[in-house]
Structure 1
Amino acid sequence: MTEAARLPTTSRLRQLGRGVRLPKRKRREQLLAVAQDVFAANGYHATAMDEIAERAGVSKPVLYQHFPGKLDLYSALLDVHVDELIAAVKEALSSTTDNKQRVKNAVGAFYDFVNSETGAYRMVFESDLRGEPAVQAAVDRATEAPVDAITKTITSDAGLSEDKARLLASGLVGLSQVSARFWLDNHNSISRDDAVSLIATLAWRGIGAGFPLQQ
């Protein structure tokens, strides 16, 4: 199981490890879980490594053994969240052979990511550190990897060239990302399921009707 799969379910790790020696992997998970809370509450610039170490119940040297600096810690956490999104999109595509349902599942993956209580999507899609190469690379990967996965599916099923399939995949990813973020800011007026269905229907009528499965 990857860090991306574990991090959203590691709330207990936030309190684990005070005065206890943890295996390196578990300690890293705990530090990432605590760091997520602090970054979400304070933002990057107002977050101090001292606070993360204190809340994790470790000394600063222990924290720096795992992450040499604040940007390294932030980048590692960002990578975890991007991996989480990519895994969700790939699962959405592989969970069924029904392409209409695949589209809906893929849209739903973005909505679930944006609606996560961790606030991870703000780190990925609204990062104010894009001038940092490591951060920009992770942010780019959050779009490029889902596009790659959807391109592969469209190319295989619709018989389109890779260039055409990639353009359609980019459209679906962009539609999902932007509408999900808009929905989050206004979601009191419409449920998650209704929003996903609306956007999936819009996408399917374009992709599914225009580019049917090739036998």
Structure 2
Amino acid sequence: MSISPVRQSRLPREERRKQLRDAALQVFVENGYHATSMDDIAVAASVSKPVLYQHFPGKHELFLDLMDTQVTLLGSAVSEALASTTDNKARVLATVRSYFQFMDSPDRAYRLLFDSGLNNDPEVAARMEQLDHRFAADIAEVIAADTTLSDEEALLLGYGLTGVVQSSARHWASRAGDADRPELDTAADLTFRLAWRGISRFPKEQ
């Protein structure tokens, strides 16, 4: 027997959308995209399904809306870290740390980006490519400014470092609750040292 959602009083549109988005985020994180239905989200938000459809035309559109928010949050965190100092070594460390901090969010929203199971979805893939390019391009600016490498060579290395940071942070996040997992600062520092030692091998700009 299905359980009807508990009806709530009428909310202003933006408050209702926030409520629906918060509920959807929780359900997507817990169940994954494919195992989540609009019925699940409506129940989690304590609204009827028609109310949910008034704000979002379907599950895919709702997921992309949530994903866009996480892409913006991570992109902004990286940009702020790079702008936090003019010392390139410190900038790279701050950037790596910002990535780990994003993955450490209690809501585990990073799973919408990295564990969605929608890698072959063109719209999801485009958003991830945009995110990776932004990270790689920002790091490439640091590399190009600190070495004799060309912009294209620096961008190639930027993508390489993006992969290192992302893989390390995803592995670290997946071990949440493991007693042997390194603390955030330790994990970020280890990843940074690997990245920076690689960058520092290239000739310095004279």
TM range (shorter): 0.7 to 0.9
Deviations 1:58-117 (A, max 9, x none): 333332232110011011111111111111111110111111111111111221122222
8 A contact 1:18–1:56 mirrored in 2: no
Corresponding residue of 2:8: 18
CA distance in 2 between counterparts of 1:211 and 1:67 reads 52
Deviations 1:101-134 (A, max 9, x none): 1111111122112222222222212221223221
Corresponding residue to 2:134 among 121, 145, 157: 145
Q: Across the two proteins, how many residue pairs are aligned to each other?
A: 197
Q: Unpaired segments of 5 or more residues in structure 2?
A: 1-6
Report runs of 4+ in structure 1 exceeding 6 Å deviation. none
Corresponding residue to 2:187 among 195, 199, 205: 195
Kindly indicate whether residue 40 of structure 2 is the aligned counterpart of residue 51 of structure 1.
yes
CA distance in 2 between counterparts of 1:211 and 1:63 reads 57
1:102-181 alignment, distance < 5 Å = 102-158=91-147, 160-181=149-170
Corresponding residue of 1:5: none
8 A contact 1:124–1:142 mirrored in 2: no
Corresponding residue to 1:88 among 71, 77, 84: 77
Corresponding residue of 1:206: 198
8 A contact 1:100–1:208 mirrored in 2: no
8 A contact 2:28–2:112 mirrored in 1: no
CA distance in 2 between counterparts of 1:62 and 1:100 reads 50
Distance 1:131 1:199, change over 3 A: closer
Deviations 1:184-212 (A, max 9, x none): 34463221111111111221122135354
Q: Sequence identity, in percent? A: 44
Provide the alpha-carbon RMSD of the alignment. Answer: 2.2
Deviation at 1:29, TM superposition (A): 2.3
CA distance in 2 between counterparts of 1:126 and 1:21 reads 32
Letter in 2 for 1:147: A
Deviation at 1:157, TM superposition (A): 4.5
Structure ID, larger Rg: 2
Distance 1:100 1:62, change over 3 A: same
Greater helix share, structure number: 1
8 A contact 1:89–1:146 mirrored in 2: yes
CA distance in 1 between counterparts of 2:173 and 2:11 reads 40
Corresponding residue to 1:184 among 166, 169, 173: 173
CA distance in 1 between counterparts of 2:19 and 2:81 reads 28
